[in-house]
Amino acid sequence: MALEFACSRVGVTDCRTVAVADTAEELLAAVAQHARDAHNVELNGTLIDYALTTVREV
């Protein structure tokens, strides 16, 4: 089963990006890259922990 993260679930309502990956590590890498590229945000431990609470299995 794959894992899915959506920016809209963490309050970035104007971003429609959805990342999907097979593992939490792959998903986190994709989300961190997107956060840097699209939002100019470097994920720290607090942001990572919060983001992981919104991940869904798909």
pLDDT in tens, 3-31: 999 999 999 999 999 999 999 999 999 99
Task: Give CA–CA dist 14/57, Å, rounded.
Answer: 23
Can you say whether residue 24 is alpha, beta or left, with left for phi > 0 and alpha for psi between -120 and 50 degrees? alpha
pLDDT, mean of residues 20-45: 97
pTM value is 0.91
Whose CA is closest to 54, among 29, 26, 19? 19
**Secondary structure class of 1 (helix, strand, coil):** coil
53 burial (CB, 10 Å; 0-12 / 13-18 / 19+) is exposed
* Residue 30 confidence (pLDDT): 98
Structure tokens at 7: 């920016």
